[in-house]
Structure 1
Amino acid sequence: MTTPGSPPLQTTTTTRSPLILRVAQGMAMGSADVVPGVSGGTVALILGIYTTLVGAIESVASTAGSLVRGDRVSAARHWRAVPWGFVLPLGTGMLVALAIGSVVLPPLLEGYPVQTSAAFFGMIVASLAVPWRKVAPRGVREYAVLVGLTLVAFVIMGLPETTVSGEVSLLRIGASMAVAICAMILPGVSGAFLLVALGVYEPVLEAVSSLDLPVLVTAVAGAALGLGLFSKVLGHLLDHHLSITMAGLTGLMIGALRVLWPWGGLEGRLDAPPAAGEAVVALVVAVIGFVLIRTLVVVGERTSPADPD
């Protein structure tokens, strides 16, 4: 997906990558989506599969839309356009990571909140260069979009957590998932954090760990609806307004750093470190996260070929 005058997004091809690599990429995205403050879309961008992912989602959504309209010919055409060799192993990896992450990650965040947030903070800072390098030219519009969406994400990530007493309705879960899934494919906007703000994060995680089928089916249906609608918009933007879109995605990632601030970020606060020693530990962990992602980005750029347009 490119526009004249804009550099092409570097992504891995769907046919040359081993199955195990796709599963691993899906697990990386799924793990990120479980953590409030981290976006699976950011991971996809870092791994070089973002535009392929959006295009695949768009094809699946088009297939479903054609079936709803009763246009079987169009549905078959869109179905054949879906890169199943990419989608199936990636989706499998995501589901495995979501299942594991729903059990493992919450205790990690609870037991080591400062270190975990610091690590993710460093990782996101390191990944900012990935979309920003795709912004060309860098004019007034691009910088305006960058600043504007930085502020939008900063405000959204400062939303207080909604506390829900009693049982959460299936309608609320479905609607919340429809909104959050859109954020999950946007680099910088955490779908998990939006679920926290909407008050359905814990019920959804509990449903995953306990295999609560009514809740899971509702969540999947809401996510499918939101993802299908939003992927068409995002696909159009990547096709026709690549530079502006990448500037906006960079801004979203910068603004989302607020929720990853190690001291009070998840609660919407930006507190100072309580002790110098804790600040030093957080800084070291953040630097390690930064170096790790920069290494992955550099290796990925040297070894991953571009998708054919």
Structure 2
Amino acid sequence: MGAADIVPGVSGGTIAFITGIYFRLLEAINAVPGAVVRDLFRARLQAFWHACDGTFLVCLLAGVMTSILTLASLISYVLVTYPILIWSFFFGLIVASVWHVGRQVRQYKAFLCVPLVAGIVLAWWITTLSAVQPAPSSLTFFLAGALAICAMILPGISGSFILVIIGMYAPVLDAIQSADITLLALFLVGCVLGLLSIARVITWAFHHFHDVVLAVLTGFMIGALNKVWPWKQTLSWRSNSAGEQVPLNEASVSPFTFADITGQDPQVAFALLVALAGFLLVLAVEWGGGRHQRNG
């Protein structure tokens, strides 16, 4: 989940969903506020730990944080050095995730096309928004954390891409790489408050409108494919923390248009192979998650 959340266009919630831990995660998060008031404030530590599924949450959080801290620099490097291949890999991941999430619908009915199309249109529109570059401040880090976590927990919506849209992706990555404890703490507090709020809403929605929610999420993932399309035309640039010019706003183009515009090899054959690898990886993760559930 941590590795996915670093990448704009890929959702950690999708990884949680295909590995079969998504609903356990929602239940554990929802239990935290009540457990704090009922048990933690009364020093009933064992009851608190059991009520909020503490071991599960700590292991998951440790994995996410370890992945973010260790892979932030690597993923930033790969996105710049091998953009076509890495985006092709993510494209294959999301296509497989669309298939996986769509299969979870209990009853396929014609009216589900409405939320499906709505999800596609909304996600596609979001991917076409121009990124902004606000002046990073303590408040913007806090608000960015609250907003991004709401997207990260939803399958199909990338919290990292939301950070790109509001212009906070680069500042957050810079804070991670420079170990700016103050700014990271504010971002984390925003994440916690946002997570506690959105998890309850998502749980309620799944309990009352299970198939509709899945149709919307499937639409989100289909629409998000525009963001991870491997061949892009750069419309505007920004300077990163090292003073280098990197793409800010991009538009999807065909491989042949990409070759004409940039004069670079579109690497179509390699891109297809890497996309297939991403697709097969999701199938393998899904198989492993299903096997774990059956054995558990």
TM-score range, shorter chain: 0.7 to 0.9
Are the counterparts in 2 of residues 159 and 197 from structure 1 also a CA contact under 8 Å? yes
Give the counterpart of 2:172 among 195, 204, 207.
204
Identity %: 37
The AA in structure 2 aligned to 1:172 is: T
Give the counterpart of 2:11 among 33, 39, 47.
39
The AA in structure 2 aligned to 1:281 is: F
> Compared with structure 1, are the counterparts of its residues 98 and 277 closer, same or farther at alpha carbon in structure 2 (3 Å cutoff)?
closer
> Compared with structure 1, are the counterparts of its residues 293 and 112 closer, same or farther at alpha carbon in structure 2 (3 Å cutoff)?
same
Alignment of structure 1 residues 248-259 onto 2, 5 Å: 248-259=216-227
**What is aligned with 1:12?**
none
Computed over aligned residues only, the root mean square deviation of the Cα atoms, in angstroms, reads 2.5
> Compared with structure 1, are the counterparts of its residues 214 and 190 closer, same or farther at alpha carbon in structure 2 (3 Å cutoff)?
same
Q: For residue 43 of structure 1, report the CA deviation from its aligned partner.
A: 0.7
C-alpha distance in structure 2 between counterparts of 1:139 and 1:97, whole Å: 39
How many residues are matched? 274
Q: Which string of whole-angstrom CA distances, capped at 9 and with x for unpartnered residues, describes residues 103-155 of structure 1?
A: 21100101011100000101111121222112121223322111111111111
Q: For residue 72 of structure 1, report the CA deviation from its aligned partner.
A: 6.1
**What is aligned with 2:98?**
128
- Identify the structure with the greater strand proportion: 2
**What is aligned with 1:59?**
31
Q: For residue 303 of structure 1, report the CA deviation from its aligned partner.
A: 4.3
**What is aligned with 1:222?**
190
C-alpha distance in structure 1 between counterparts of 2:284 and 2:295, whole Å: 19
Q: Which string of whole-angstrom CA distances, capped at 9 and with x for unpartnered residues, describes residues 60-105 of structure 1?
A: 24445x48xx9969x9977642111211111101110010122211
C-alpha distance in structure 2 between counterparts of 1:269 and 1:61, whole Å: 43
Are the counterparts in 1 of residues 11 and 158 from structure 2 also a CA contact under 8 Å? yes
Are the counterparts in 2 of residues 62 and 78 from structure 1 also a CA contact under 8 Å? no
**What is aligned with 2:251?**
269
Are the counterparts in 2 of residues 61 and 229 from structure 1 also a CA contact under 8 Å? no
C-alpha distance in structure 2 between counterparts of 1:277 and 1:205, whole Å: 28
Are the counterparts in 2 of residues 60 and 82 from structure 1 also a CA contact under 8 Å? yes
C-alpha distance in structure 2 between counterparts of 1:112 and 1:210, whole Å: 24
**What is aligned with 1:281?**
270
Q: Which string of whole-angstrom CA distances, capped at 9 and with x for unpartnered residues, describes residues 28-87 of structure 1?
A: x000001111110011111111111111111124445x48xx9969x9977642111211
C-alpha distance in structure 2 between counterparts of 1:90 and 1:71, whole Å: 24
Are the counterparts in 2 of residues 59 and 78 from structure 1 also a CA contact under 8 Å? no
Unaligned runs of 5+ in 2: 234-247, 260-264
Q: For residue 300 of structure 1, report the CA deviation from its aligned partner.
A: 3.1
Are the counterparts in 1 of residues 84 and 266 from structure 2 also a CA contact under 8 Å? no
Structure 2-normalised TM-score?
0.85
Are the counterparts in 2 of residues 135 and 142 from structure 1 also a CA contact under 8 Å? no
C-alpha distance in structure 1 between counterparts of 2:69 and 2:150, whole Å: 20
Structure 1-normalised TM-score?
0.81
Return 125-134 or 32-41, whichever deviates more.
125-134
**What is aligned with 1:195?**
163
Q: Does the alignment pair 1:86 with 2:68? A: no
